Structure 1
Amino acid sequence: MPRPDVDAVMTAIDQLLAGAMDEEQMPAAAETMRKLFNGSKACFASVGPEPEDWIAYATNPDISLEEHCFGELAPEFVEMGFALRGIPLGVVYRDQEVFGTEALHRSRVWREWMRPQDMYGGMACRLADNGEAFWFFDVQRGERQEGFDGEDAALLGKLYPVLRRVAELRRHIGRVTLQRDQARGTLDRLALGITILDHEMRITYANERADEILASPESAAGLRQGRLFARQPADQRKLKRLVEAAQQSAHDPLADHQASMILRGSDGVHSLSACVMPAPSSACPQQHGKVMIALRRLETATDLVACARQLFDLTDTEARFASALANGSSLTEAAEAQRVRISTARTHLARIFQKTNTRQQSQLVSLLRSAALPLQPR
């Protein structure tokens, strides 16, 4: 059987490194390795005791690996995976050597998964441990193909450092991707608009609330060719100055630049508060600093009753009184609206003071008007 030349090996290494940085390239990397070893199928996989440990990038994408791994065959896959735990990292092994040919062919995994895909002889190595889970690479030969020999094993052994690096990078990037997705999900729950701008005021990130604010034609700020702008010329000039100052301080570890302004709506109603600050600095000092702007509509909280209940453990009645006071009603007006005596209203107010740790009605109103929960309703 012809051996792969240097170009074929280098092409495989290039594809492996591409897959390490881009998950979508991993099936192509598996396919390149299958061709390199003239195999019937190849697979990069992570196995472990938890469902989140199971990851696979394999050739033959028309066959549902997930359906088998997480279906009825899951216990058998787990048992076979843990049989490999004692094999040192980088040591090339063959399926028959580990499981025994007869025992392997009696297993449901071989009968229902491997044999239908012409997987009659496998060569593999463990790549990296991740707690109880581990990554491995496996390539198979078909029923009518010759088995793997010593030269095949030697080539796989030489490729092990690259394969190990691929597994480590995929694990690291997968963790970073999860953290990024969790952070984005959290930011999308905020009632604040969060935007990140480059040095030309182009938006490089915006959460859901920011998208909503900037898409409204009535908003005091919007987008023009991907750039943030204030609708009032005077506000635009001031906003640019604040952004430039924040950019200049982005790489200064001693700077603590943070500034706020009001962006006025054209109708005098739909105004925004804007807090401008440097975004976390880039690892590359030559890059321009980015700026984060938090946008919030200047409007009274729409559900102060719910906020008061959740934040201060007020009863429904107390929360309605507190909301009425925060919205400008006097205690007498609040009592009339709730159809209770003024003495009863004073009792409610005393309990509200106690629960909110305030002593005066003005303190209570100030606290409630700033206490709106910064979460978007779902």
Structure 2
Amino acid sequence: MTLVQKREAQFLDALYLGVRDRAGFDASLELLGNLFDVATAVLLDFDAARPEVSAQASVGLFTGEVLDRYQRDFATLDPAPRAFMAVPAGTAMPTYRLLREETRKPGVFFNEFFRPLGLEECLGGTLASTKGGFAMVGLQRPQDRKAFDDDDIARLEALMPHLTRALQLRRGFLELEGAAGAMSEISNRLAAGVVALNEYGRSLFVNAAARRMASAADGLSIGRGGRLFAANRAANNRLAELENDVRAGGAGGVARAPRAAGKPSYGIMVAPFFLDDGVDGSRSRPRGVMFIIHDPLLKAQSDAQTIGALFCLPKGAAQLVAAIAANEELQAYADRTGISMNTVRYHLKTAYSRTGVRRQSDLVRLVTTALRDLTDHRDIGA
């Protein structure tokens, strides 16, 4: 294997390893630049409709403040992206061939941005092109490096399929990472505890509420592998039984996990969920197991503003409902706020009318259930 072949192999290894990591992706681009004896390289997405340029990876001069200035002030003036957009995907070309007139009579971009950086030419390649947008790789040579030639073009074109595939994989990974992050944030807001296991029984996710319940050590725990356990042996056996039922294709069921000191038990639903999108109909869909944990003692903070907005209550009625939802007696509320019991009864009657209930206990149940579902539970008990 020649030195060039070794360097190409190092680049390809770094490129595919960098799919999951921006720093690794940038490092692979640096190796690509070394292959062509340039220090500056960039991988760009270009949206002609806006127009807008975003860098997927960059090294050398096209980083930091320079990259910010390019995207902010000069991307729309750069003639190269639009010119490369017309070039078939998989084709590489130096700008002195692609932009002959611009090379002969440099415009604002070359005179005010590109050449003041000490750069003379770009060897670019179109990686993928769709309606209104495309991706390209650009290798920028300094003035003391000889012009890009046919050998450089052929070498870059041989590597471009790998760049295209790696970019596709990176985009897919970023989409999955974004979706997973969003689902994690959503799940962590819930009042219910959530523990999810994959088809092999390994932990996929434990939300904030489940971790909080486990840390209370009053009936539930979460093992080092992220599995849910009940302190009560019978309850733990029931959880294992329901998990096995799900893995065998069943629907799961509900278990109770007793707590100490006579506290009401945790309620736990064990149910299946699918780990793919069901597109491949040639095989059975892998099933994970989720545990949804209900803590009957968990109460959301009573918030008059939220209550008023939810049930269209005037300020006085909303404040009263918030107080009784927090277990304050009517007389105590009247004394604390300095209003008469007649006014308290008027606010209570308004709340009954707006919510459609007739009893104070039903009103409290209605409001606390709504608050429990809508409250952000990430920081409760932290």
TM-score range (shorter-chain normalised) is 0.7 to 0.9
Amino acid at match of 1:295: I
Instruction: Output the CA distance in 1 between the equivalents of 2:40 and 2:69.
Output: 21
Does structure 1 residue 190 correspond to structure 2 residue 184?
no
Q: In structure 1, what is the equivalent of residue 301 of structure 2? A: 303
- Give 1:196 deviation, angstroms: 1.0
- Give 1:360 deviation, angstroms: 4.5
Instruction: Output the CA distance in 2 between the equivalents of 1:102 and 1:136.
Output: 24
Q: In structure 2, what is the equivalent of residue 266 of structure 1? A: 260
Pairing of 1:206-217 with structure 2 (within 5 A)? 206-217=206-217
Q: Which moved more, 1:317-326 or 1:332-341?
A: 332-341
Q: In structure 2, what is the equivalent of residue 252 of structure 1? A: none
Instruction: Output the CA distance in 1 between the equivalents of 2:120 and 2:355.
Output: 72
- Give 1:136 deviation, angstroms: 0.9
Q: In structure 1, what is the equivalent of residue 314 of structure 2? A: 315
- Give 1:21 deviation, angstroms: 5.3
Instruction: Output the CA distance in 2 between the equivalents of 1:287 and 1:86.
Output: 43
RMSD after superposition? 3.6
Q: In structure 1, what is the equivalent of residue 273 of structure 2? A: 279
Q: In structure 1, what is the equivalent of residue 114 of structure 2? A: 110
Instruction: Output the CA distance in 1 between the equivalents of 2:269 and 2:110.
Output: 67
* Structure 1 unmatched runs, 5+: 250-254
The DSSP-based 3-state class of the residue aligned with 1:90 is coil
The DSSP-based 3-state class of the residue aligned with 1:239 is helix
Amino acid at match of 1:103: P
Does structure 1 residue 90 correspond to structure 2 residue 90?
yes
Does structure 1 residue 165 correspond to structure 2 residue 175?
no
> Using a 3 Å threshold, how does the CA distance of structure 1 residues 353 and 130 change in structure 2: closer, same or farther?
farther
Q: In structure 2, what is the equivalent of residue 36 of structure 1? A: 35
The DSSP-based 3-state class of the residue aligned with 1:294 is strand
Instruction: Output the CA distance in 2 between the equivalents of 1:230 and 1:15.
Output: 45
Amino acid at match of 1:100: T
Amino acid at match of 2:66: H
Amino acid at match of 2:231: R
Instruction: Output the CA distance in 2 between the equivalents of 1:329 and 1:43.
Output: 64
* Structure 2 unmatched runs, 5+: none
The DSSP-based 3-state class of the residue aligned with 1:371 is helix
Does structure 1 residue 234 correspond to structure 2 residue 234?
yes
TM-score by length of 2: 0.78
Equivalent position to 1:292, from 290, 293, 296 = 290
Amino acid at match of 1:173: F
Instruction: Output the CA distance in 2 between the equivalents of 1:157 and 1:201.
Output: 45
Pairing of 1:48-197 with structure 2 (within 5 A)? 48=47, 54-60=54-60, 65-71=63-69, 74-80=72-78, 82-84=81-83, 85-97=85-97, 98=99, 99-100=102-103, 103=106, 106-113=110-117, 115=118, 119-129=119-129, 132-197=132-197
> Using a 3 Å threshold, how does the CA distance of structure 1 residues 338 and 225 change in structure 2: closer, same or farther?
same
- Give 1:184 deviation, angstroms: 1.9
- Give 1:123 deviation, angstroms: 0.8
Contact map agreement 2:4 2:35 (CA 8 A) in 1: no
> Using a 3 Å threshold, how does the CA distance of structure 1 residues 296 and 310 change in structure 2: closer, same or farther?
farther
- Give 1:24 deviation, angstroms: 4.0
Q: Which moved more, 1:360-369 or 1:131-140?
A: 360-369
> Using a 3 Å threshold, how does the CA distance of structure 1 residues 154 and 269 change in structure 2: closer, same or farther?
same
> Using a 3 Å threshold, how does the CA distance of structure 1 residues 185 and 327 change in structure 2: closer, same or farther?
closer
Pairing of 1:1-16 with structure 2 (within 5 A)? 8-16=7-15
Q: In structure 2, what is the equivalent of residue 220 of structure 1? A: 219
Contact map agreement 1:47 1:78 (CA 8 A) in 2: no
Equivalent residue pairs, number: 363
Contact map agreement 1:92 1:153 (CA 8 A) in 2: yes
Q: Which moved more, 1:40-49 or 1:91-100?
A: 40-49
Instruction: Output the CA distance in 2 between the equivalents of 1:315 and 1:126.
Output: 61
The DSSP-based 3-state class of the residue aligned with 1:138 is strand
> Using a 3 Å threshold, how does the CA distance of structure 1 residues 302 and 168 change in structure 2: closer, same or farther?
closer
Contact map agreement 2:29 2:58 (CA 8 A) in 1: yes
Instruction: Output the CA distance in 2 between the equivalents of 1:17 and 1:328.
Output: 59
